[in-house]
Structure 1
Amino acid sequence: MPPLSLLVAWGVPWLATALAWLGGWMAIFALAYLAALLLAALLVMPLLLRHLAATEYRDLAQLGADSFVAASMNSLGAALLFVLLWVLTIPLWLIPGLSLVVPLLLMAWLNRCTFAYDALSAHASEEEWQMLSARHKAPLLLLGFFMALLAHVPLLGLLAPALAALAFVHYGLESLRRLRQEALPGE
């Protein structure tokens, strides 16, 4: 008997149906998270940043070029690359365990790319952004990973993009504050 007909004889076509169903839901989840993340990056992040900059981070001068267009282009570029990487990594999901890890890593990367830039674009100069981006690459990715995990918690996952925006604003502005304090002589 050929291998395919053997699988049919064993009653395995249900597995193909189940995997197709699971893959469809994973794609829907990814697109929903992507849409929520873009809304949070474009609408929620500027409000959070403005509020926290006026209250908790008053001492930080705005040395960056705060541009809604640049932030939007960054978010849309990261979103398009996320979709491309999502599609390219689908074969890896067939390896046991990677179907859980790869989407989380992609979501962590998307969080870092989108929210880290948005959190610092208004306050950090170009040199400060380059320094912070290089120095905090791993911690920002880890923060993005925890926010991606949070997106999978029932009900709390609905707030994950807004919570990610808040976490990245606090982390980014506090890192910038410490960087500027290191640069001051005598302190």
Structure 2
Amino acid sequence: MLMNMGLLVDSFWRAAVYCLRPRVIMLSLAPLLLIGVLGGAWGYFCWDGAVRGMRSLLESSSLLTAFWDWLQTWGVGDVTAVVAPLMVILAVTPVLVVFSLLAVALLMTPALVALVAQRRFPHLERKKGGSFWASAVWSLGSSFLAVLALVVSVPLWLVPPLVLVLPPLIWGWLTYRVMAFDALAEHASKEERREILQRHRTRLLGIGILTGYLGAAPSLVWASGVIFAAAFFILVPLAIWIYTLVFAFSSLWFAHYCLAALERLRSEGSALSASVVPVGDPAAVAIAASSDFTPAAFTSENKMP
């Protein structure tokens, strides 16, 4: 237990230090660049039509029309000319953000796992126990179960303490399932991955829950962007960057923990194999020294007379 807790703390501070690397910082800024490109292309082709459509929608409501007229009596001027572009931006920004984060997430996790493996575990054998399609199916299945759990648990959110517990618990479970799989997909076999997920389930779930709470921090910035409209274009990019950085930290924490757990699992297997080698038998010692050695490799010819 103490050894596993040491592994948890060790992987935490290593992930925090890796977040300061220029490569990780550049990956965390990728969504902002992608949003700028997509937003510029969308604005060039669709901006005028979207603003006209939004303005027509705002002016079609009799209640809103009375409100605009009341504002004009106070000398505000044509309010819809100002509100319509702002409403278009508020409607399009979440779509661009979600699309960009999904695109970067697909590229970021493999890149960060490769970075950890290259710098800390270059000797770790790659058994490729999880393909891209297996990872996609695993992620989609886990996401479906998480969304189903969220929908079923919505009535319980009315109980004040549970609203602070259930959503982070569900998203923590989803984070643990997806990121632990991706962290082990390249290096672990299917049997090793199942063993690690079973043996370290509690601690991996704890990592997922903690990073889930960290992921709630950008929501405060989003809320600030809605309240303080003047700073919207500053606070929203800041929130996107914080969210991506939290995502990078989560990926690094799972990568450090899972690859270290895999290295420890293989060391235990090597020690167990070495403990059954008969003393004084050179042939058995040679077999045990090979990487393909298993206890089943012994036959009656290898045993001592």
TM-score, normalising length: structure 2: 0.47
Q: Could you tell me how far apart the structure 1 residues matched to 2:105 and 2:170 are?
A: 17
Contact 1:92/1:98, CA 8 A, preserved across alignment: yes
Is 1:72 aligned to 2:123, yes or no? no
Q: Could you tell me how far apart the structure 1 residues matched to 2:121 and 2:135 are?
A: 20
Q: 1:82: Cα distance to partner?
A: 1.5
Q: Could you tell me how far apart the structure 1 residues matched to 2:129 and 2:210 are?
A: 29
* CA deviation profile, 1:39-85 (whole Å, cap 9, x unmatched): 46522111112222222111110113341111122112222222111
Greater RCO, 1 or 2 (C-alpha within 8 Å, sep 6+): 1
Q: Could you tell me how far apart the structure 2 residues matched to 1:130 and 1:83 are?
A: 24
Q: 1:159: Cα distance to partner?
A: 2.2
Q: 1:116: Cα distance to partner?
A: 0.5
Partner-residue secondary structure (3-state), 2:128: coil
The equivalent of 1:10 in structure 2 is: none
Q: Could you tell me how far apart the structure 2 residues matched to 1:67 and 1:56 are?
A: 23
Change (3 A) 1:157 1:41: closer
Q: 1:168: Cα distance to partner?
A: 0.6
Q: Could you tell me how far apart the structure 2 residues matched to 1:48 and 1:66 are?
A: 17
* CA deviation profile, 1:79-101 (whole Å, cap 9, x unmatched): 22221111111011011210110
The equivalent of 1:59 in structure 2 is: 123
Name which of 245, 248, 258 aligns with 1:159: 245
Partner-residue secondary structure (3-state), 1:97: helix
**How many aligned residue pairs are there?**
156
The equivalent of 1:4 in structure 2 is: none
Q: Could you tell me how far apart the structure 2 residues matched to 1:106 and 1:161 are?
A: 17
**Larger Cα Rg: Structure 1 or Structure 2?**
2
Sequence identity of aligned pairs in percent? 37
Contact 1:40/1:161, CA 8 A, preserved across alignment: no
Name which of 259, 262, 271 aligns with 1:176: 262
Question: Runs of 5+ in structure 2 lacking a partner?
Answer: 1-93, 219-238, 276-305
